[in-house]
Amino acid sequence: MPGIKSAAAGIAIKEKLANADHSDLKTSSFWISQIFMIIATVAGVYLAAQAGLQQAIEFDNLTSTESNYYLRQSLYDEVDANVRLLRTYNKEFFSRPLQKKELEKNTPALRRFVWESMKYSPSTLETPSYFLREIQGFYADIDLIMANRLSWAYGPSYASKLMTEQLDHIENVVLPKLADNTRMLAQELKDAGMDVEDSVAYEETATANAADKDKAQ
């Protein structure tokens, strides 16, 4: 009969439980070992999570450093190219008593792709404010000097003098600091095992700029 069999099975289980050795449950060593097992499990999960978080943070920092490096490298190259362009223009046209049409025809188009693109780059906010302020001021002052020269608000000699002062400052003060900052970022990436293009070799660039400056004088 099914009912009788079920009852018999229940009685057999109760007898086994009653006769089982439960002495381990009464000892402190059992509970201590269980507590340590729980602690070890929790600690393992915590350490694994911490290791994963640390790796994620390091990867994010390296990605940010890499973006900043290439942004500042590109900014340096662009400003340096504009300085060279303006020195040639200052010597050959800007400092001479030419009429407005002649000046306008030979006025160079400055490269501002990187500078304009920085408006939309999150890395711009990580760029030291010194460089942003100095380069913004440089472009604003150059634009004003050129506009006043074209309108003859400034004479050729005075306008040329003002432009030379701006070019000397950006080339001899700002760009060297930007080059140092860029090299520092490049070294951080190299130390982390990342391959990056060599940063601006300032000594070589300064020599080339000095040669251009001598020719312009």
pLDDT at 169: 97
Give mean pLDDT, residues 27-51: 66
Terminal Cα-to-Cα distance of the chain (whole angstroms): 118
Report CA dihedral (66, 68, 72, 75) to the nearest 10 degrees: 110
Q: H/E element holding 111?
A: none
pLDDT bin (cut points 50, 70, 90) of residue 173 is very high
Grouping H, G, I as helix, E, B as strand and the rest as coil, residue 21 is: coil
Mean pLDDT of 63-70: 84
CB distance 216 to 88 below 8 Å: yes
How confident is the model at residue 177, as a pLDDT? Answer: 96
Cβ atoms of 100 and 150 closer than 8 Å: yes
Query: Which of residues 70 and 213 earns the better pLDDT score?
Result: 70
Average the pLDDT over each of 51-55, 84-88, 133-137 and give the range with the smallest value.
Answer: 51-55
Percent of the chain scoring above 70 in pLDDT = 65
pLDDT-derived band at 66 (thresholds 50, 70, 90) equals: confident
Helix (H) or strand (E) holding 94: none
pLDDT-derived band at 136, boundaries 50, 70, 90: very high
Handedness of CA 101, 102, 104, 105 (dihedral sign): positive
What share of residues in the chain are helix, strand, coil (percent, to 5)? 85, 0, 15
CA nearest neighbour of 149 among 139, 137, 158, 138:
158
Cβ atoms of 94 and 103 within 8 Å: the answer is: yes
Pairwise CA distance, residues 28 & 44, whole Å: 24
In 3D space, the residue among 60, 64, 78 whose CA is nearest the CA of residue 178 turns out to be 78
Q: Is the pLDDT of residue 120 over 50?
A: yes
CA 87, chain centre distance (Å): 30
Residue-level length of the chain: 217
* Mean pLDDT in residue range 149-172: 95
What confidence score (pLDDT) does residue 206 get? Answer: 47
pTM tops 0.85? no
At residue 38, the pLDDT reads 75
